[in-house]
Amino acid sequence: MEFQGKSFLAEKDFTQAELQYLIDLSQHLKKLKKQGIVHRYLEGKNIALLFEKTSTRTRAAFTVAAVDLGAHPEFLGANDIQLGKKESVEDTAKVLGSMFDGIEFRGSSQQVVEALAEHAGVPVWNGLTDEWHPTQMIADYLTIQESFGKVKGINLVYCGDGRNNVARSLLVTGAILGTNVRIVAPKSLHPDEALIALAQEYANQSGAKILVTDNVDEGVLHADVLYTDVWVSMGEEDKFAERIELLLPYQVNQAMIEKTQNEQVIFLHCLPAFHDVETNYGQEIQEKFGLSEMEVTDEVFRGKHGRQFEQAENRMHSIKAIMAATLGHLFIPNV
Ligand code: CP
Ligand code: NVA
């Protein structure tokens, strides 16, 4: 395994052993943090955090992880720097790469994060694009490993917009790791054929079973993990009406939990979630569509199956592992 100097742009660039290593390293670093054992493996390094889109977890996780590792994080928001407006991605990458030891980027375009990596000369980490959300995956599969002791052979069912970054990443990552992934979504929101074929290729090697279906009963039966994400991702806020109509039958609610026929099923959500009307969007949706919860009901969100806040905490431990592995040495985690 060779991590040093490597970027983390998409899960498909990594082998099963490498992704599993990052999950195990995250678990190890979590243990060190909980035990109060100092782990300043990146003392003196400087990290740039580029955010074209908003973020709570990813930004907080990179910031705290960098500080815990002894590195200095610098937040560079969309309105703070010249990128895209007065300066090309290539020139920005060259400048930032000459000053910083690693660069995180969140934005719409996968091409931008790839161009940054090509020209920066330092590791670049994808903090979410419209195509992939790879740092999220290490946290998600860590949460599954903590809950079930393993990721292989676990049935992960994603219900909702099957074309978005999180669904795409879950499918490919699970296929590589040997987790059985089912995408349960209306046909018009199924992942594209090329992506399903790619996942199937990985699944043939790992033994994972892949299913894409619009049938909720078939899709959720014997799920170990029920996962959902927002029905409308950042940048497509004009799509609420059509998504609500399409996705209401795919809402994660108590009836769906029962359809899994698995008392031990856990609920995951990358967050933020629309489970009540305590947000501006939530209130607008209630006024316009009479709906007080969207992709998950408040009952499930606050109920005994929910692991979404452990999952959110794991963003920090896993981002720490990704930075430590790509900027530091290869550790052998003792999980
Ligand atoms: N899950 C996630 O990426 O959250 P943020 O958008 O708050 O970073
Ligand atoms: N699919 C969501 C994920 C947010 C973490 C979005 O892109 O907005």
Q: Tell me whether residue 315 is annotated as binding.
A: yes
CATH code of 155-223+225-261+266-304, in short, is 3.40.50.1370
CATH code of 11-133+314-327, in short, is 3.40.50.1370
Q: How far is the CA of 144 from the centre of ligand 1 (A)?
A: 18
For atom 6 of ligand 1, the residue with the nearest CA is 55
Verify whether ligand 2 is closer than 6 Å to residue 234 (CB atom): yes
User: If you ran DSSP here, which 8-state letter would residue 77 be given?
Assistant: E
Active site residues: 106, 133, 136, 229, 270, 315
- Distances in Å between the Cα of 205 and the Cα atoms of 21, 89, 101, 137 are 18, 36, 35, 20
Q: Tell me whether residue 159 is annotated as binding.
A: no
Distance CA 294, CA 250 (A): 10
Q: Tell me whether residue 7 is annotated as binding.
A: no
What per-residue confidence (pLDDT) applies to 2? Answer: 86
What per-residue confidence (pLDDT) applies to 328? Answer: 85
Q: Tell me whether residue 134 is annotated as binding.
A: yes
Residues 277-297 pLDDT 10s: 999 999 999 999 999 999 999
* Residue 102 CB partners (closer than 8 Å, separation 6+): 45, 47, 48, 71, 122, 123, 124, 125, 323, 326, 327
Q: Which of 56, 143, 311 to mutate to test the pocket of ligand 1 (most atoms within 8 A of CB)?
A: 56
Section 52-79 average pLDDT: 97
Q: How far is the CA of 240 from the centre of ligand 1 (A)?
A: 19
299 CA to centre of own chain:
24
Distance CA 30, CA 319 (A): 11
User: If you ran DSSP here, which 8-state letter would residue 237 be given?
Assistant: G
Over 70: is that where the pLDDT of 23 sits?
Answer: yes
Section 204-223 average pLDDT: 98
Q: How far is the CA of 195 from the centre of ligand 1 (A)?
A: 23
Over 70: is that where the pLDDT of 151 sits?
Answer: yes
**Closest C-alpha among 209, 256, 211, 248 to residue 231:** 248
Section 256-265 average pLDDT: 98
Ligand 2 closest atom vs CA 232:
8
96 CA to centre of own chain:
25
Ligand nearest to the CA of 161: 2
Any idea what the Cα angle at residue 330 is, between residues 328 and 335, rounded to 5°?
A: 120
Distance CA 193, CA 217 (A): 23
What per-residue confidence (pLDDT) applies to 333? Answer: 65
Helix, strand, coil % over all residues of the chain, rounded to 5: 50, 15, 40
DSSP bridge partners of 237: none
Distance CA 129, CA 111 (A): 9
CATH 3.40.50.1370 residue window(s) in the chain: 11-133+314-327, 155-223+225-261+266-304
* Residue 70 CB partners (closer than 8 Å, separation 6+): 40, 41, 42, 43, 44, 45
DSSP bridge partners of 211: 182
DSSP bridge partners of 125: 8, 104
Calculate what percentage of the chain has a pLDDT beyond 90: 95
For atom 4 of ligand 1, the residue with the nearest CA is 57
For atom 7 of ligand 1, the residue with the nearest CA is 56
pTM to 2 decimals?
0.97
